[in-house]
Amino acid sequence: MMARMSRFVTKGFSWFNTHLSGEKMFLVMHFFPLFAFFTQVKPVDWIICVVLYVVRMFFITAGYHRYFSHRAFKLNRFWQFIFAFMAQSSGQKGVLWWASHHREHHRLSDTPLDPHSPKQRGFWYSHVGWIFDKRYKRTLTEKIKDFAKYPEIRFLNEYDFIPPWVVGFTVWLIGGFSALWIGFFLSTIILYHSTFTINSLTHVLGKKRYETGDNSRNHWFLALTTMGEGWHNNHHFYPHSARMGWFWYEIDLTYYLLKVLSWLGIVKNLRPVPDRVRYAHRLKLLMQSNQG
């Protein structure tokens, strides 16, 4: 009896994972907010939409990116799982998949082998097309052995549909279908494309402060919409730091929240930006002026 139930559950997970969390689901869900026209949308639905956008954007940039991709701070195993779960509630595939491909992006940035370079393949491919490319479907486990050693993280990565389904179902329980269409699905879609602009736009728009060997740029507006990710040239120059806005006027909301979490003892060892890195551009200008 238990063996039959185990096979049933495993098959169920496989079916959901194959058919409801893939590329077709990504495309279809863009139409889900239209169902709001058939429901009575409430103010609380929009509040949920904004809250879920901000909360999940934080876990994307703090979890997927600064922690799992770059190890810019430390978490214990419990909080590591929470950061992974909440990052995956955005529906942007498994944490090991996300971080392993991002590490490849940094290693191969704007070369022909970069998974999502607008320089090489244009806006739409870098924005969303690369996700559908069969070459990038596999999790590059060999590139992220440091986190692939945890069975609970491997489980989340394999069954990446679980976190968004849990959050979506919770939203439905709280606010009904209007909250589901607006609070969950609309915020998820906006979250997708806001995140994707870091791939497609911050290698095209903005200013280059540092020479990085690629086209990465800083853009203040994209930094606001992505809670700090828009300081992309800073990040490519020194990707090890937990902070992407390196100067007081470069707003980095994710870093500010990480700082608060460090005061609470949740986050530890936030990696700083060394002054020799932060002011490298000024040193270069000074050397050029002396040579002139």
Predicted confidence (pLDDT) per residue in 260-286, tens digit: 999 999 999 999 999 999 999 877 655
Q: What is the rounded average pLDDT for all residues in the chain?
A: 90
Give the C-alpha separation, 67 to 156, whole Å: 16
Whether 288 has a pLDDT exceeding 80, the answer reads no
Choose the weakest-confidence range: 5-9, 121-125, 160-164, 233-237.
5-9
- Report d(CA 103, CA 144) in Å as an integer: 8
Burial class, 144, CB count within 10 angstroms (exposed 0-12 / middle 13-18 / buried 19+) = buried
Tokens representing 5 are 């139930």
Tens-place pLDDT, residues 98-112: 999 999 999 999 999
What is the distance between the alpha carbons of residues 274 and 279, in angstroms, rounded to a whole number?
Answer: 9
Q: Taking every pair of C-alpha atoms in the chain, what is the biggest distance, in angstroms? A: 83
Q: Per residue in 189-211, pLDDT tens? A: 999 999 999 999 999 999 999 99
Q: Report yes or no: 182 and 36 within 8 Å, Cβ to Cβ.
A: yes
Alpha helices in 122-161, H assignment, sequence order: 123-127, 145-148, 151-158
Domain ranges for the chain, please list them. 34-291
- pLDDT, tens digit, 9 for 90 and up, residues 115-143: 999 999 999 999 999 988 999 999 999 99
The predicted structure's pLDDT at residue 172: 97
| Structure-token match 């194959």, residue found | 18
> Cα dihedral sign for 259, 261, 265, 271?
negative
**Integer angstrom CA distances of residue 138 from 69, 157, 230:** 16, 11, 27
Burial of 236 per CB tally in 10 Å (0-12, 13-18, 19+):
buried
Residue 185 CB contacts under 8 Å (≥ 6 apart), including other chains: 29, 32, 33, 168
Phi-psi region of 41 (alpha: psi -120 to 50; beta: other; left: phi over 0): beta
Q: What percent of the chain has pLDDT over 90?
A: 84
Query: CA 151, CA 95: separation in Å to the nearest integer?
Result: 13
Q: Residue 20 has what pLDDT?
A: 43
Report the first-to-last Cα separation within the chain, whole angstroms.
83
- pLDDT tens, position by position, 18-64: 344 467 778 889 999 999 999 999 999 999 999 999 999 999 999 99
Q: Nearest-5° angle of CA 210, CA 213, CA 219?
A: 45
Task: Give the pLDDT of residue 24.
Answer: 77
pTM of this prediction?
Answer: 0.89
Tell me the pLDDT band of 232, cut-offs 50, 70 and 90: very high
The pLDDT of residue 163 is 97
